[in-house]
Amino acid sequence: MTLTTNRWQTIRIGVCALLLTGILAETGRALMMPTVDKNKIAATTAKSIQFPTQIPLSDWQLVKNQSIEPSEGKAIGHLYQYRNQENNTVDIQVHYENYAEGNVGRLMMIHGIAPPASALLTIKEQYRTGSYALTSYNNRAYLTACINPVGKATATSEQFTKNKYEHGFGFVRTLGWLAGLNDLVDARCLWTAISISLPAEPSDQLLAEKYQTLETIWSQWYDWWQPNFEKLGKQ
């Protein structure tokens, strides 16, 4: 028993020493090298991202899809437009955020949907898909959220950070970080904004119906992206 215990202690000490050596080496390399420009890394990553030309939604027909080229401070994205038999049109804008902070309100501002503090967000949650935000601005109703590569969807910085450290960090990823293959924590998100038009002064009932339409689409959208997130750039 003592021999077995001593052996495991030796193995644990060896593993800890290996990890400590790697961390010290990585820290020294980081101190010796210039600061990494995440905008440049994001731009390089964007070149490899290829959004699918169509994502199926039941009861909706794709009528338009186009790339949104990245500009300064913005991530590469794509715009999808769908129409149903009642001639209602829904726009879905997505952006591949490589170093996300998870604040969907700020992302709406960055990508030109709504100025700062102009849209009041209502955070909601579905047990299966996670959290999302509902809002209306400029005669449109919106549902917006971050689809994360692991874990559930999030809508606030706090939710995103919690999900990131609960699901985007682990032993295998740490080994990859020590080898310089990836970041220590996965901070990516596929920011999604689904919107539908509103009349100038919609009633509470109409607004609730529009939100329900967006939530139905969101469930399908999330179900498609959750297993397909990692396929971006591999098509």
Residue type, 21: T
What would the pLDDT profile of 141-160 be if each residue is shown by its tens digit? 999 999 998 889 999 999 99
H or E element, residue 96? strand 89-97
Which residue reads 């609960």 in tokens? Answer: 166
CA separation, residue 66 to residues 50, 118, 126, 140 (Å):
11, 27, 29, 20
- Longest CA–CA span in the chain (Å) reads 78
Contact 196, 144 (CB under 8 A): no
Between 54 and 173, whose confidence is greater?
54
Statement: the pTM of the whole predicted model exceeds 0.85: no
pLDDT computed for residue 232 by the predictor: 81
CA angle in degrees (0–180, nearest 5) for 187-103-144: 105
**pLDDT tops 50 at residue 37:** no
